[in-house]
Chain A
Amino acid sequence: MARRATSGLLFQGSDWNFTTLSRAYDAIEQVALEEMGLSVYPNQLEIITSEQMLDAYSSVGMPLMYQHWSFGKRFAYEEHHYRKGHRGLAYELVINSNPCITYLMEENTMAMQALVTAHAAFGHNHFFKNNYLFRQWTDAGAILSYMDFAKKYVTKCEERHGTAAVEAILDSAHALMDQGVFRYRRPPRLSSEKVRERARERLEYEEQTYSDLWRTLPQTAESHDPAEAERDASERKKVLNLPEENLLYFLEKHSLILEPWQRELLRIVRVIAQYFYPQRQTKVMNEGCATFVHYTIINRLYDQGRIGEGHMLELLQSHSNVVFQPDFDDRRYPGINPYALGFAMMQDIQRIATEPTAEDRDWFPSFAGNGDWMETLRDAWANHRDESFILQYLSPAVMRKFRLFHLADRASERFVEVASIHNERGYSAVRSALSNSYDVAANQPDIQVMDVDLLGDRHLRLQHNIKSGIVLEEGSRNATLRHVRHLWGYEVSLAGVDPQTGRTVYEYSTAKDG
């Protein structure tokens, strides 16, 4: 009898080998696909050392990355904290690609490897494959070959033009990475190698056949009619497709001083920024989904008698570490833990779907008590990002559990005010405030290209639409504008405008620097 009880176990002891890894994988896959109905990209699991994990950290988690000093800086930073023991390393790292690559640390115990497999290879993987943001905005099948191209291209540029020249462009491009994404317009698909090759050839051809003579043609007489000037301005804005929120895209297409290889570098940085944009918008959901999936799968395997009690305790301990949420006045408070919030909300959805209270029926009539929690969750995972997910699914029960409250902080006043708390009157307000704080587009400064007179002084005018009176930090703002100027080649100015009143709050131009 005892023999039979143990023979069902997937693994024993804490050491792992490739046999136990794949046995655990098969069991997890069975639960994930057949019972939970997840749909995933094919998996590729890679075993790495802690040093390789640090490497992966510093190159923004990509298996292939071009070389740049800022990654070295990040490496030094991460390594410092790791060595000092301030911070452990992640147990895994997963890449949104097809096949989906998951890194497993060699130091993990076998139980941890199973947990990580469930978490990353099924939880994150399902999310990447099904969430609408990833489906629309990233191309999992092409990213690896694109990164390979990017790495080789940067290396080639360094050989041809020198490391310093390439670094100068990349520095400036990195400074504008946050302003290098399309937030509303869908980005063009990553084009295939052949199309890119053709585009480059065309640019090279244009470069070769460029004739300086055209520049010397006499200009037509200027008219000083204001209406005419106005019409001119709107005409050229139309031609340049202004206003434009994607600064890197604008510079890549319209900068007059960049050479083709420099444009291509901007494009590489822009593509990477765009690739990561959905991940920044779905932190809570992505981690919540992965945590919920691993928790469900591990418990299911335990119920089936395929994971021993000792291992289960180990897994629960590490699970509860992951979903630990310190209070705001705790020394350890780093912000709201996306794992904790996401997991709690998804567990709550499961509860509402199966055993709803009267309150839940009130708040969530569409799915309370429908019984099919997996279908509800899959639907939520596929069709939301953090902001909309919280706005739709954060229940009073979870708000009470986290004891959430909303603080309003106005710069003009000497106090902060508790605007609302987790009570009947405050639920909606807390919920929308929290949801708003997860809206990446709303929390980043909205900076757009407004106008440029290409035939005149070529002065590039940017506009910062100030939201809730939050201006930019001056030192970094001016330094970043100098990067824009570096890429644009002519003077650049930034005006902060309050969209409600239309008043210009501040204005800064690189021309003042001299």
Chain B
Amino acid sequence: MPNFIDRRLNPKDKSLGNRQRFLKRAREELKRVIKEQVKSDRIIDVDAAHGVPMPTDGASEPTFQPARGSGERNYVLPGNKQFSAGDRLPKPEAGGGGGGKGRPGTGESEDDFQFILSREEVLDLFFEDLELPDMVKLSLKETVTFKPRRAGFATAGTPTNINVGRTMRNSFGRRMALHRPKEKELTVLSEEIARLEAAPEISPKDRQRLSELRSELERIERKRRRIPYVDPVDIRFNRFEQQPLPNANAVMFCLMDVSASMGEREKDLAKRFFVLLHLFLKRRYERIDIVFIRHTDEAREVDEETFFYSTQSGGTIVSTALEEMIRIIEDRYPSQIWNIYAAQASDGDNIIGDSEHCAALLREKLTKLCQYYAYVEIIDERETEIFGSTDNGTALWRAYRTVDGEKSNFQMTRIAKPADIYPVFRRLFARQPATRTRK
């Protein structure tokens, strides 16, 4: 008899530590890949699991390896069909003879293999230079909350979930079907036996009756034992299903100036800003629509591809975008049904005289329609020192500044590097605990 050991219940993820070490090692490379992917992915796909090619820098394991195509080698191969000794075959162009195959995990064969980063790992890398507070990170990474809901009955479960009504109904049906003797029959019989036994003198007829009664009593008792009152098959449990908490719908408007002054860097920052807003919203809403509006001197609703990647020339009239947004809201997203969020990114250029119009639109219409309106002005890193957080700046900035003071759901900031983005959302996040309890 050998020694059998069941290891299946041993703690899982024995190699988790190794995997984490590997990720840590490959971190720089992975960060670069993720950054590229965030740039090219659609906003809603950013927090999905990503496949990344096996990083080569910092994760290579060199050993002394024979060089290909040098020296004299001998191969013995199976399956000769037509060769005889002395035949000469031309060498294949590349790759040498039938010999060289990469060893798993070391050779060149690993270039074509991608490994999968989970959503958490991707977000970790994405958050890294955004400098989010830990609590925020945690809360963004958390997925939807669930609530147990009654969903019928089950034959298995924990004792606390026994449904007594169902169980007793089943037990009753079974007892009826199997003719389980009732308590009453038992008492009648035993009373009769007691009565007969109590008699001072027992006639032969009574004696026979008594033995009949006794055997009847024994039969009934045996039957009652065989057919239990409650059998395991009767037991029913309440079944619960994990149901995600219902969330309302939200729509997110992305507004961006695409005039020539917005370069590659500005667009990348703007995208990170939009992605982050999307992540925040995703925490709270089951379904999010995203509307992309770009503008030069006229505004149009476009798809994501066009929004980020195609350029357009022309002047800059910001108010056209706001008007377009108002039109779309009236058209498709009535504000009593939809939670409306808006994020506007611009470099602050605007045609003279339009900025006041924008501020008015914001103050009178948009801040009333929207849950939250965030404006970021993307500036050059050198300009940060000049402007700081002063009121000075472009006409658009100064005009928006007046709105900032009076409306609590309006946020604005200047950003020059990724780490500047988060403060825009601080207030949005701070409101979270209040709205979280919403059912």
Q: Which residues from chain A sit less than 8 Å from chain B, CB to CB?
A: 18, 21-22, 25-26, 29, 42-49, 51-52, 54-55, 58-59, 67-81, 99, 103, 106, 121, 163, 167, 171, 174-179, 325-330, 333-336, 402-411, 414-423, 425-426, 430, 433-434, 436-437, 444-445, 447, 464, 466-477, 479-480, 483
Contact = CB atoms under 8 A, between A and B. Distances in A.
Given A73-B59, A477-B64, A335 B101 contact: yes
Given A177-B63, A469-B72, A421 B18 contact: no
B97 A407 contact: yes
Nearest to A83: B116
A437 B65 contact: no
Given A77-B104, A407-B77, A419-B85, A328 B98 contact: yes
B22 A403 contact: no
A324 to B, nearest CB: 11
Contact of A480 (B54, B62, B73, B104): B62
Given A415-B90, A425-B85, A26 B79 contact: no
Contacts of B83: 405, 418, 421
B86 interface: yes
Nearest to B5: A46
B18 A476 contact: no
Interface string B8-29: 1010101101111111110000
Chain A interface, >50% SS class = mixed
B15 A71 contact: yes
Nearest to B98: A328
17 contacts: A22-B1, A44-B2, A45-B4, A45-B5, A46-B7, A68-B18, A80-B114, A406-B75, A409-B97, A411-B69, A411-B71, A415-B88, A418-B86, A418-B87, A437-B75, A470-B71, A479-B62
Contacts of A476: 62-65
Contact of A70 (B17, B23, B61): B61
Given A47-B4, A406-B75, A407-B74, A333 B15 contact: no
Contacts of A163: 21
B3 A99 contact: yes
A240 B24 CA distance: 40
Contact of A437 (B23, B62, B76, B97): B76
Chain B interface, >50% SS class = loop
A89 B439 CA distance: 47
Contact of A69 (B5, B25, B64, B66): B25
A7 B308 CA distance: 74
A179 B64 CA distance: 9
Contacts of A25: 1-2
Contacts of B60: 479
Contacts of B116: 80
Given A44-B3, A403-B78, A418-B89, A67 B18 contact: yes
Residue from the set B12, B80, B81, B104 with the largest chain A CB neighbour count within 10 Å: B80
Given A327-B81, A437-B75, A473-B68, 19 more contacts: A52-B14, A69-B21, A71-B18, A72-B15, A73-B59, A79-B115, A103-B7, A106-B8, A178-B63, A179-B64, A336-B76, A403-B79, A407-B97, A411-B69, A418-B86, A470-B73, A472-B64, A472-B65, A483-B62
B59 to A, nearest CB: 6
A483 to B, nearest CB: 7
A76 B62 contact: no
A426 B8 contact: no
B84 interface: yes
Contact of A468 (B71, B105, B115): B71
B113 interface: yes
Given A59-B15, A403-B78, A405-B77, A68 B21 contact: yes
B148 interface: no
B83 to A, nearest CB: 4
Contacts of A48: 7-8
B246 to A, nearest CB: 34
B331 interface: no
**What 10 pairs between A and B have smallest CB-CB spacing?**
A327-B79, A469-B71, A72-B22, A72-B18, A470-B71, A479-B62, A328-B77, A69-B21, A72-B19, A405-B80
Nearest to B10: A52
A480 B84 CA distance: 42
B121 to A, nearest CB: 12
A329 B88 CA distance: 16
Contacts, number: 264
Contacts of B385: none
B71 A44 contact: no
Contacts of B226: none
Nearest to A443: B66
A69 B110 contact: no
B64 A178 contact: yes
B352 interface: no
A402 B7 CA distance: 41
A416 B97 contact: yes
A327 to B, nearest CB: 3
B91 interface: yes
A272 B87 CA distance: 44
B133 to A, nearest CB: 26
Contacts of B310: none
B184 to A, nearest CB: 47
B96 interface: yes
B66 A470 contact: yes
Contacts of B89: 407, 415-418
A370 to B, nearest CB: 29
Contacts of A59: 14-15, 18
Interface in B82-127: 83-91, 96-99, 101, 104-105, 110, 113-116
A414 B91 contact: yes
Contacts of A480: 62-64
A470 B70 contact: yes
B44 to A, nearest CB: 24
Given A43-B2, A329-B79, A336-B76, A417 B18 contact: no
A327 B78 contact: yes
A175 B15 contact: no
Contact of A473 (B10, B25, B65): B65
Contacts of B64: 178-179, 444-445, 447, 464, 472, 476-477, 480
A22 B80 contact: no
B6 interface: yes
B80 A473 contact: no
Given A177-B63, A328-B98, A415-B89, A78 B104 contact: yes
Contacts of A336: 76-78
B75 to A, nearest CB: 5
Residue from the set B22, B62, B69 with the largest chain A CB neighbour count within 10 Å: B62
A473 B65 CA distance: 6
A416 to B, nearest CB: 5
A415 B74 contact: no
B430 interface: no
Contacts of B7: 46-48, 52, 103
Contacts of A22: 1-2, 4
Contact of A325 (B78, B88, B101): B78
B22 A76 contact: yes
A464 to B, nearest CB: 8
B198 interface: no
Contact of A72 (B10, B21, B71): B21
Interface in B238-289: none
B293 to A, nearest CB: 41
B109 to A, nearest CB: 9
Contacts of A415: 88-91
Contacts of B113: 77, 80-81
B67 interface: yes
A55 B60 CA distance: 21
A26 B78 contact: no
B19 A76 contact: yes
B70 A411 contact: yes
Nearest to A76: B115
A428 to B, nearest CB: 13
A229 B1 CA distance: 68
